[in-house]
Structure 1
Amino acid sequence: MNPYVLMTLLSSLGLGTTLTFASSHWLLAWMGLEINTLAIIPLMAQHHHPRAVEATTKYFLTQATAAAMILFASTTNAWMMGVWDMVNMSSPIASAMVIAALALKIGLAPMHFWMPEVLQGLDLLTGLVLSTWQKLAPLALIITVAQATDPLLLTILGLMSTLIGGWGGLNQTQLRKTLAYSSIAHMGWMVIILQYAPHLTLMALVTYIFMTSAAFLTLKASSATKVNTLTMVWSKNPALVTIAALVLLSLGGLPPLTGFMPKWLILQELAKQDLPLIATMMAITALLSLYFYLRLCYAMTLTISPHSAASTTPWRLQTTQTSFPLALFTVMAVGLLPMTPSIITLIT
């Protein structure tokens, strides 16, 4: 892609998200979401491949449906209440419709069906943008309208997302689909705690971005898109396999890695809010996710492929990939748990 076109599209991505962050008017927020969607469509379709075109079409139709629902809900609220401000979502019908539309935008269950298929058709870097940056603006709107929303709706969305995100990833052989179900599960953790402790939602979002970025970048560095290709990575780059295993275990929430921090604090907060049954169900669904992460780690570290390596030994070649972002996100995804008290002090 032409670097000027790429710079324009990336600038539009930033502009759309910033516009949504800064808006208090529904039309302005809707405009930011639309700029965001239209900017990422060419990035998704830049590889002229039938799967990429199919994924782009599915994504466009899904996001257009969600944007139309948001516009309809905000118009309904303005018609019933006489205001366009986001903080005045007094109509329960409009607020429920907005939450459903935003759940469709970020892939919360039961509106999650598009996400694994779309992510499977993209390359790893575009999938990274879709899994991290594209979640920011809709989540900001969910946080804004959460206080005017029925708590039962958010609880159901969160529980279903963690359950389906854990259950759906169990039988996957494609790494991008596995990471898509991982994203669905993490979104559920963020949404379920939103009504009780919004600062924990923000902390879970930041740690999720660190861990997912590290996972995508390690897979990109090892050129792995399927589980069976992971079995040969150890012979090419043993250090990268160690990093990838730690990052995947961190995504699963295993102590003493960073991913344990948000899950631990969210379960603690749910117990404080006298919701032990919901906390128990969330912990059980986290075990489902941990199982398929352990399965990937087993494929990487404890199996030897029956095939001989057909590729040239990579340590004889000069690498051209930038390793600084990978190193930064890996350190953040693995080693932030001891900083938990300082992080809590910063965000509260």
Structure 2
Amino acid sequence: MVFPISHLLFFFSLMLGILISISSTSWFGIWIGLELNMMSFIPLITIKMNFYFSESALKYFLIQALGSTLFVTSSCMFLSFPQMSATLLLTSLILKLGSAPFHFWFPQVMMGLTWPQAIILMTFQKIPLMTIISYLSIFPYLMQIISFSAISSAMIGALGGLNTMQLRKIMAFSSINHMSWMLISISISDMFWILYFFFYSIISSTIMILFNLFQTFTLSQLIKFNQTNIIHVLLIPLNLLSLGGLPPFAGFIPKWMLIQLLIDNKLFIPLIFLLSSSLITLYFYLRITIFFFLLMNPFMIISSKYNPPLYFYLTLFVFFNFTFIFLPLLFLLI
């Protein structure tokens, strides 16, 4: 279900709130942008009078209101108690971001959303919060809190998606896991977390667009879907492997670069947790992938009908992910 034209104004105000937050020169301006962003996203959640939409909107509003309260309180204390204020400010941002150890609300809100709403929550809503956290990285004593949140997000995001059949919950814990890579990259380079976020947004949005096209919300629905089409059989599992960071897909490129940066900066302990969590996430991505290849029927694939518009759009969605398969060839040409 896409958004109606009447909700286009809320989407524009949501983007305006993001721009105000990342371009403001004062804490008050940042707070105004975050509040505008929150109040624009809630009408996009309650697109219909539905129990699940209302529950998700209420949970999202309460958590964001609590985070905003901590944000305003810490901003007022900044001149008198700078260290305590900065710590409280970072805590409020981690809470609003949905990173561990304040991750409990994120999968529950995701369970009541449609796929277009989930795309906004997992991509656009993280931009101003990650930007403000990067502003706070100038304080050395906050780096320990950011590293702790990154390690916690890595393990919780990996272990949380193991025993679930809900695709939205799997994507939610996957987002928490990827937040760990972005948080740890803030301590190294501001430009690098932007690069990682770009790759993460493209790949996760591609997967959720495919889920929205096929209208699948559980693992059983995905397995029972049309297995007679080679495009359907291959696109979703290969994109999931790309999201998990399996080489040589596009999702491996930013992880490869971050691993090199962590080794150069001698951050071996966070690296061990990040790599261990990536192996666990690859396990439940492979659990989904193996069903597609086991249930594939070659005879039915050959005799399936050709659908040019669907082939064109799906090929366009996944072109970014598969482009990097040919990246090693560039090193041979140089």
TM-score norm. by structure 1 comes to 0.86
Map 1:217-232 onto structure 2 (within 5 A): 217-232=209-224
Does structure 1 conserve the Cα–Cα contact (< 8 Å) formed by 2:136 and 2:142?
Answer: no
1:162 aligns with one of 154, 160, 177 = 154
Secondary structure of 1:182's aligned partner = helix
Residues 1:296 and 2:296 aligned together? no
Partner of 1:308: none
Please tell me the residue identity of whatever aligns with 1:167.
L
Partner of 1:86: none
Partner of 1:93: 84
Partner of 1:332: 320
Partner of 1:15: 16
After superposition, what is the alpha-carbon deviation per residue over 1:168-222, rounded to whole angstroms, capped at 9, x for unaligned?
A: 0011100000000000000111001211222221111000000110010011111
CA distance in 1, matches of 2:7, 2:188: 40
Relative to 1, partners in 2 of residues 1:2 and 1:191: Cα closer, same or farther, differing over 3 Å?
closer
Does structure 1 conserve the Cα–Cα contact (< 8 Å) formed by 2:45 and 2:57?
Answer: yes
After superposition, what is the alpha-carbon deviation per residue over 1:221-260, rounded to whole angstroms, capped at 9, x for unaligned?
A: 1111100111122436430331111110011000000111
Deviation at 1:46, TM superposition (A): 1.2
Secondary structure of 1:77's aligned partner = coil
Partner of 2:46: 45
Deviation at 1:138, TM superposition (A): 0.6
Deviation at 1:47, TM superposition (A): 2.6
Please tell me the residue identity of whatever aligns with 1:28.
G
Q: Which runs of 5+ in 2 are unaligned?
A: 298-303
CA distance in 2, matches of 1:332, 1:142: 28
Relative to 1, partners in 2 of residues 1:69 and 1:322: Cα closer, same or farther, differing over 3 Å?
farther
CA distance in 2, matches of 1:284, 1:238: 32
After superposition, what is the alpha-carbon deviation per residue over 1:282-312, rounded to whole angstroms, capped at 9, x for unaligned?
A: 111110111111111123332479xxxxxxx
Secondary structure of 2:174's aligned partner = helix
Partner of 1:284: 276
Partner of 1:83: none
CA distance in 1, matches of 2:8, 2:239: 30
Relative to 1, partners in 2 of residues 1:328 and 1:37: Cα closer, same or farther, differing over 3 Å?
farther
1:181 aligns with one of 156, 167, 173 = 173
CA distance in 2, matches of 1:337, 1:190: 23
CA distance in 2, matches of 1:196, 1:304: 44
Deviation at 1:335, TM superposition (A): 2.2
Please tell me the residue identity of whatever aligns with 2:121.
L
Partner of 1:125: 116
Does structure 1 conserve the Cα–Cα contact (< 8 Å) formed by 2:233 and 2:296?
Answer: no
Please tell me the residue identity of whatever aligns with 2:126.
K
Secondary structure of 1:233's aligned partner = coil
CA distance in 2, matches of 1:184, 1:335: 26
Paired-residue identity, % = 30
Relative to 1, partners in 2 of residues 1:338 and 1:50: Cα closer, same or farther, differing over 3 Å?
same
Please tell me the residue identity of whatever aligns with 1:179.
M
Moved more, 9-18 or 97-106: 97-106
Map 1:146-295 onto structure 2 (within 5 A): 146-148=137-139, 149-235=141-227, 237-295=229-287
Relative to 1, partners in 2 of residues 1:208 and 1:8: Cα closer, same or farther, differing over 3 Å?
same
Partner of 2:37: 36
Deviation at 1:262, TM superposition (A): 1.4
Secondary structure of 2:164's aligned partner = coil
CA distance in 2, matches of 1:123, 1:242: 23
Map 1:106-121 onto structure 2 (within 5 A): 106-121=97-112
Residues 1:70 and 2:61 aligned together? no
Alignment RMSD: 2.5
Please tell me the residue identity of whatever aligns with 1:178.
I
CA distance in 2, matches of 1:239, 1:322: 7
Secondary structure of 1:256's aligned partner = coil
Deviation at 1:271, TM superposition (A): 0.9
Residues 1:142 and 2:133 aligned together? yes
Does structure 1 conserve the Cα–Cα contact (< 8 Å) formed by 2:227 and 2:296?
Answer: no
Partner of 1:84: none
Does structure 1 conserve the Cα–Cα contact (< 8 Å) formed by 2:10 and 2:41?
Answer: yes
| Count of residue pairs brought into register by the alignment | 321
Please tell me the residue identity of whatever aligns with 1:165.
G
Relative to 1, partners in 2 of residues 1:4 and 1:230: Cα closer, same or farther, differing over 3 Å?
closer
Please tell me the residue identity of whatever aligns with 1:334.
F
